[in-house]
Amino acid sequence: MIKFFRKIRQQLLTENKFSKYLLYAIGEIVLVVIGILIALQINNWNQKKLLVKKEIEVLKTFENQFKEDLKEFDQGLMFYRGAKNSIEIIINHLENNIPYNDSLGQHFFISTRIYGESDLDDNVFENLKSVGVDLISNEYIRKIIIELYEDDDKWINDFENDYQKFLLNASQNIFNTRFKDFWNGDYKDLTYSLGEMIPVDFERLRTDQEYLYFIRTQKNLIGWLTEKPLEETKLKVIVLSEDLKKEIKKLENN
């Protein structure tokens, strides 16, 4: 092809047809420019296709991770609701003058359990940040994902840590004078339900205002510091997961 164009140029110059040669040269330049533009367009199209493919992969990774996170939320909620149930049983015994029984030792133990792993797994989000959050083209989904990890996840972490501090402080200032020991159980038991906390004097707890204030407050804090953040974030993740499915389907069909 190059030899063909060169032959035409030489023929025009030989025949001294300069005006025709000039028009030909301009036409050749235009063809070259068009070729470059087409090549750039193809390259841009290929790059965009690769970005969309990468975006779909990232969104699917989030979708899969959210399934695991939702399981973790349910585990955390079940854990803390079990503690809350034990607290209600203890309060009921104390306030209604119900006699002490051996099962209460287990309820005292369960009431002080700490889960400590209720938050989101942020590895997927950290990977996204390393390549750039703008990879997610849908502005709404990008905004919700950022809020989820930078606000909601921090909310769960901070509040759960506050609850843990509340209990650990009680182990040094409340439980130490009212129970034989704290967390007397097998740490290998993954259900954290086979321990016991035996009160030194159960009858005195009925009129112990400091302890009654503590355990009623503990019940309230489970709601505010653990259940509320987990329930609201869980709902947000469920809604976002549905949005991800729709977005992935749209990107795959484009």
User: Domains in the chain: how many in total?
Assistant: 1
- Tokens found for residue 162: 């506050």
135 occurs within a structural domain: yes
**Token pair belonging to 62:** 């989030």
Three-class secondary structure of residue 184 per DSSP: strand
Question: Tell me, what's the pLDDT at 187?
Answer: 80
pLDDT of residue 194: 82
CA distances from 188 to 23, 117, 185, 194, 231 (A): 88, 17, 9, 10, 28
Given this model, what pLDDT does residue 23 score?
55
Considering the domain boundaries, does residue 91 fall inside one? Answer: yes
pTM check: above 0.75: yes
Is 19 within the bounds of a domain? no
Q: What angle do CA 145, 130, 66 make, to 5 degrees?
A: 35
**What per-residue confidence (pLDDT) applies to 205?**
98
Note whether residue 49 is domain-resident: no
Is 227 a member of any domain?
yes
- Establish if 28 belongs to a structural domain: no
| Among 91, 36, 31, 72, residue whose Cα is nearest residue 212 | 91
Indicate whether 199 belongs to any domain.
yes
| pLDDT for 254 | 81
Query: Where do we find the tokens 């209720």?
Result: 118
Structural domain boundaries enclosing 136: 66-253
Strand segments, DSSP code E, in the chain are none
Which residues on adjacent β-strands are paired with residue 184? Answer: 196
Tens digit of pLDDT per residue, the chain (254 long)? Answer: 445 545 555 554 455 554 554 555 566 666 666 767 776 676 566 668 888 999 999 999 999 999 999 999 999 999 999 999 999 999 999 999 999 999 999 999 999 988 877 889 999 999 999 999 999 999 999 999 999 999 999 999 999 999 999 999 999 999 999 999 998 888 877 677 789 999 999 999 999 999 999 999 999 999 999 999 999 999 999 999 999 999 999 999 98
Residue 40 belongs to some domain of the structure: no
User: To the nearest 10°, the Cα dihedral for 38, 42, 45, 51?
Assistant: -140
Give the H/E segment covering residue 141.
helix 139-147
